[in-house]
Homo-oligomer: A and B are copies of this chain.
Amino acid sequence: MAVRVQREDFDIGAELGALTRGNTRIGGLTSFVGLVRDMAGGDAVGAMTLEHYPGMTERQLEAIETEARRRWPLDATLIVHRIGRLEPGDRIVLVACASAHREAAFQACHFLIDWLKTKAPFWKQEETPAGPRWVDAKSTDDDAAARWERG
């Protein structure tokens, strides 16, 4: 049960290791790492800057995490999201869920990233050859999040 917003990179091995350490009820750990791609919408992207709404971001992430724990039997969850300037190949976000059962770990992890993408107040501005450009929200992200609405 942890939510962090930070400028620094995160150490995947250390984060995931800490999540399961000492809890031998855990049978499965699913994680997702989002990375900066060098192409978006067909245009070369040099880098991007992530902005957020301090305070509300943490509240939203905690609410999403609480909802995941209400829906699935989870032993541990983690969301780490970076802000600031990131370059292609840099890690943006880490979402991880540990459970006795792998199906719960998969479902909950998938749910967390889908909801985070449509509910957590972060915004990306890309650096493109034509200048900075705010990234538009994607309808595919809305569709992915909507799958989980039924509860």
- Whether the pair B113, A102 counts as a contact (CB closer than 8 A) is yes
A23 to B30, CA, bound (A): 22
Copy tally for this chain in the complex stands at 2
Q: Verify if A144 is at the interface (C-beta below 8 Å from B).
A: yes
A interface with B by C-beta (< 8 Å): 11-14, 16-17, 20-39, 88-89, 100, 102-103, 105-106, 109-110, 113, 144
- Whether the pair A29, B32 counts as a contact (CB closer than 8 A) is yes
A89 to B55, CA, bound (A): 35
- Checking B17, B30, B109, B110 against A12 with a beta-carbon cut-off of 8 angstroms, the contacting residue is B17
Q: Which residues of B contact A105 (CB under 8 A)?
A: 32
Instruction: Give 15 pairs: A residue, B residue, CB < 8 Å, sorted on A.
Output: A11-B13, A12-B12, A12-B16, A13-B16, A20-B33, A22-B89, A24-B38, A26-B35, A27-B34, A29-B32, A29-B35, A30-B31, A37-B100, A103-B144, A106-B109
